[in-house]
């Protein structure tokens, strides 16, 4: 999705804006641009394409690069096709604007402007914001008040940063789209995502919905939605600059798979003591009596986070003893869900900004349901909206394809299951939690043990156009997630299916051109049944890659993983599936970290 950067301070703004935009490339975009306030007014350079194209264009331009205040943007088209004209910033002679989100009432604003003889030149909703501010400036308001008047008119979701020709400060507005202000001595950074500015500061103010801010190099004034001056806390984000860099790996995705042991370790180590007690009392701000008495857990999430919920469902049910529903956010938001009396609503989101997860959360709150979230990005909307949040401590996930977030989410879901079970006085949850402590080193072992074989298999299989991913029991949601990984970065069609369901339809797809990846933990009878399914595939000339710790002679290839208890298998069995998708996409020459059409956090519906 779109990315915003802004800077005002003692240094030249251009380099900071461009490196910030490069840090945001992972979010997915189709055009990029910057505006600087220079001696001759506002100068803007923008282009369809990548930040590297913008850099070449700037090198050829006569842009005054000494400017110390400016804004930048990467656009992911919503209104109007990807083009240089539609790229941000959108500007007039007096003001330049970058915007994330959607202005839902831009048509009525346009009518208002048209009646005053002002019209848009681009297809974007954003241009109406620039024209509106310009209109109020011409009506003799100063920049701050022109911005206030404009923001009052906007409906929809937005993070906006505006730059003026005549005033030395930036104006910001945030509503349902993230915007943070980074603070350092004599300079102020603005971004839609902390990773863009983590190189320069660890201290951030997260604007809240409805906030408007006036920002210059050493003064930040924040106004609430009534435009009264207000205070927001400064939050320290301890992500290191290195975590947001590739660190010698070809792609963030591979680095993040290699980091999964560390991500899970960081997520669990301070939250489980040596006796297996789950130490979440301070973090879960929900009443313990309520937690002991919940009668249903409703998990809502999208994509990989949804699959994490689906994977953890049997563990949640086994340890809490209550029914768990796992629902897709984009469907749930239009569904009149029948909550039970003591229902816990559980949102899972890496970014914490996914609109299709955020909306059901808001709806649940309106219905008086207690809400808990599992989120990776601190101070994100979902984390703040929910009654309580447990953070995954995976560090920044830059690759669009989610990997370390998945295993870290599983780690929190498992801890939550054990925590509720321990509150209910069940002994077995202590032993299980102790086993979880051993998982990070097993994840590392799996990565080291399987990568060579996976590279060879990727070489053998990367030209196929269709794959089936099959699993039973706890391995079924892993098949879904494995198929999702393959399709999103390799653009190969892949379908995840419960292995036993194959004979009810998908078996018609099997032939020598459609390989199957079968995920099978040796637990009986599930293993034998999965092997019977392999027999069915073989007799139809289908090729099989088996992911298991137990060998079988009937498959073509095996990715052998270390032995692990059935309950904990997802942490281990998912690693080769992620690696296989990565190496296949690599051999196909794809843009792995920024796959086509995808965005890292989907903040619009
Ligand atoms: C898949 C992927 C997406 C996200 C989904 C939810 O690799 O990245 O399917 O999992 O968009 O995103 P979050 O977890 O940020 O809510």
Sheet holding 203-206, edge to edge: 41-48, 31-38, 69-75, 3-8, 187-191, 180-184, 203-206, 234-236
Domain span holding position 466: 449-587
Domain membership flag for residue 389: yes
Please give the Cα distance from 553 to 559 (Å, whole number): 13
pLDDT, tens digit, 9 for 90 and up, residues 86-134: 999 999 999 999 999 889 999 999 999 999 999 999 989 999 999 999 9
Specify whether 82 is located in the same domain as 189: yes
Q: Say what the pLDDT of residue 549 is.
A: 97
> What CATH number did the domain enclosing 330 receive?
3.40.50.10490
- Residue whose CA lies nearest to ligand 1 atom number 16: 349
**Helix residue spans in 522-568 (DSSP H):** 526-538
Domain membership flag for residue 558: yes
- Residue whose CA lies nearest to ligand 1 atom number 9: 303
Listed residues 437, 468, 496: the one ending a domain: 437
Domain membership flag for residue 187: yes
Nearest to 391 by CA among 374, 407, 408, 371: 374
Tell me what the pLDDT averaged over the chain comes to: 95
Specify whether 241 is located in the same domain as 261: no
Specify whether 33 is located in the same domain as 126: yes
Listed residues 385, 411, 437: the one ending a domain: 437
Domain membership flag for residue 595: no
Instruction: With a cut of 50, list the residues of the chain below it in pLDDT.
Output: none
Domain membership flag for residue 200: yes
Q: Say what the pLDDT of residue 77 is.
A: 83
The total number of structural domains that make up the chain: 3
CA of 171 to the centre of ligand 1 (A): 31
Domain membership flag for residue 594: no
To 5 degrees, how large is the angle CA 523–CA 528–CA 529?
Answer: 105
CA of 374 to the centre of ligand 1 (A): 13
Q: Say what the pLDDT of residue 598 is.
A: 80
> What CATH number did the domain enclosing 239 receive?
3.60.20.10
Q: Verify whether residue 2 is a known catalytic residue.
A: yes
542: Cβ contacts below 8 Å, ≥ 6 apart: 468, 510, 511, 512, 514, 515, 516
Listed residues 437, 460, 483: the one ending a domain: 437
Specify whether 286 is located in the same domain as 206: no
**Does ligand 1 have an atom closer than 6 angstroms to the CB of 396?**
no
Tokens of 9: 């301070």
Q: Is residue 307 classed exposed, middle or buried when 0-12, 13-18 and 19+ CB atoms within 10 A define those classes? A: buried
Specify whether 383 is located in the same domain as 459: no
Q: Say what the pLDDT of residue 2 is.
A: 87
Tokens of 334: 């239009």
Specify whether 141 is located in the same domain as 266: no
**Does ligand 1 have an atom closer than 6 angstroms to the CB of 409?**
no
Specify whether 135 is located in the same domain as 217: yes
Specify whether 216 is located in the same domain as 275: no
**Does ligand 1 have an atom closer than 6 angstroms to the CB of 601?**
yes
Q: Say what the pLDDT of residue 76 is.
A: 86
Domain membership flag for residue 604: no
Phi-psi region of 515 (alpha: psi -120 to 50; beta: other; left: phi over 0): beta
Q: Say what the pLDDT of residue 242 is.
A: 66
CA of 306 to the centre of ligand 1 (A): 8
**Does ligand 1 have an atom closer than 6 angstroms to the CB of 303?**
yes
Reduced to 3 states (helix: H, G, I; strand: E, B; else coil), residue 455 is helix
pLDDT, tens digit, 9 for 90 and up, residues 340-362: 999 999 999 999 999 999 999 99
Please give the Cα distance from 181 to 7 (Å, whole number): 10
Q: Say what the pLDDT of residue 596 is.
A: 83
**Does ligand 1 have an atom closer than 6 angstroms to the CB of 47?**
no
Nearest to 516 by CA among 525, 507, 503, 529: 507
Tokens of 226: 């009534």
Specify whether 129 is located in the same domain as 154: yes
SS (H, E, C) 158-171: EEEEEEECCCCCEE
Percentages helix, strand, coil for the chain, rounded to the nearest 5? Answer: 40, 25, 35
Q: What is the dihedral of CA 355, 420, 570, 554, to 10 degrees?
A: -130
Please give the Cα distance from 551 to 394 (Å, whole number): 33
Tokens of 198: 């983590």
Its pTM stands at: 0.81
Catalytic residue, candidates 2, 302, 475, 534: 2
Specify whether 358 is located in the same domain as 460: no
Please give the Cα distance from 17 to 188 (Å, whole number): 12
Domain membership flag for residue 605: no
Nearest to 77 by CA among 120, 129, 30, 32: 30
Specify whether 482 is located in the same domain as 507: yes
Specify whether 221 is located in the same domain as 327: no
Nearest to 75 by CA among 3, 159, 156, 157: 3
Reduced to 3 states (helix: H, G, I; strand: E, B; else coil), residue 522 is coil
């Amino acid at each position: 999705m779109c990315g915003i950067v802004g800077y005002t301070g003692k240094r030249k703004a251009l380099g900071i804006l461009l490196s910030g935009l490069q840090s945001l490339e992972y979010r997915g975009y189709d055009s990029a641009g910057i505006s600087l306030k220079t001696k001759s007014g506002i100068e803007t350079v923008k282009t369809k394409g990548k930040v590297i194209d913008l850099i070449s264009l700037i090198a050829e331009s006569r842009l005054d690069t000494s400017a110390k205040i400016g804004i930048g943007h990467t656009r992911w088209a919503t209104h109007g096709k990807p083009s240089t004209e539609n790229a941000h910033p959108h500007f007039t002679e007096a003001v330049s604007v970058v915007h994330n989100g959607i202005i839902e009432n831009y048509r009525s604003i346009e009518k208002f402007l048209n009646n005053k003889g002002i019209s848009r030149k681009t297809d974007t909703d954003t241009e109406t914001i620039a024209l509106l501010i310009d209109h109020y400036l011409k009506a003799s308001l100063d920049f701050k008040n022109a911005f206030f008047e404009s923001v009052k008119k906007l409906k929809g979701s937005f993070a906006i940063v505006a730059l003026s020709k005549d005033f030395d400060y930036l104006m910001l507005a945030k509503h349902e789209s993230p915007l943070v202000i980074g603070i350092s001595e004599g300079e102020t950074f603005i971004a839609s995502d902390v990773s863009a500015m983590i190189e320069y500061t660890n201290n951030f103010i997260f604007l809240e919905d409805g906030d408007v801010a006036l920002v210059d190099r050493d003064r930040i004034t924040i106004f609430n939605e009534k435009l009264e001056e207000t205070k927001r806390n400064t939050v320290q984000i301890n992500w290191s600059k290195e975590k947001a860099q590739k660190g010698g790996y070809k792609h963030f995705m591979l680095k993040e798979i290699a980091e999964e042991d560390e991500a899970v370790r960081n997520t669990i180590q301070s939250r489980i003591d040596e006796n297996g007690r789950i130490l979440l009392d301070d973090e879960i701000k929900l009443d313990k009596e309520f937690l002991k008495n919940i009668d249903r857990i409703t998990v809502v999430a999208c994509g990989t986070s949804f699959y994490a919920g689906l994977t953890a469902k049997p563990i949640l049910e086994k340890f809490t003893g209550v029914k768990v529903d796992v629902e897709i956010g984009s469907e749930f938001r239009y569904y009149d869900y029948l909550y039970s009396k003591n229902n816990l609503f559980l949102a899972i989101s890496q970014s914490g900004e996914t609109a299709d997860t955020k909306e059901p959360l808001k709806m649940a709150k309106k219905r008086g349901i207690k809400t808990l979230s599992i989120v990776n990005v601190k101070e994100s909307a979902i984390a703040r909206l929910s009654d309580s949040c447990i953070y995954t401590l995976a560090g920044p996930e830059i690759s669009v394809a989610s990997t370390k977030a998945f295993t870290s989410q599983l780690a929190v879901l498992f801890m939550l299951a054990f925590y509720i079970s321990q509150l209910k006085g069940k002994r077995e949850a202590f032993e299980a939690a102790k086993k979880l402590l051993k998982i990070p080193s097993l994840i590392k072992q799996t990565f080291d043990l399987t990568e060579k074989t996976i590279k060879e298999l990727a070489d053998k299989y990367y030209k196929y156009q269709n794959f089936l991913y099959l699993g039973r029991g706890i391995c079924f949601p892993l098949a879904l997630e494995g198929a999702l990984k393959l399709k999103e970065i390799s653009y190969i069609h892949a379908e995840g299916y419960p292995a036993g369901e194959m004979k009810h339809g998908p078996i018609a797809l099997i032939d020598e051109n459609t390989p199957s990846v079968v995920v099978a933990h040796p637990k009986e009878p599930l293993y034998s049944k999965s092997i019977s399914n392999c027999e069915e595939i073989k007799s139809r000339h289908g090729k099989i890659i088996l992911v298991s710790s137990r060998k079988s002679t009937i498959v073509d290839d095996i990715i052998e993983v270390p032995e692990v208890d059935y309950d904990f298998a997802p942490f281990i069995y998912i690693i080769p599936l992620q690696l296989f998708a990565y190496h296949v996409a690599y051999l196909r020459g794809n843009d792995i970290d920024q796959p086509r059409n995808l965005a890292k956090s989907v903040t619009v519906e």
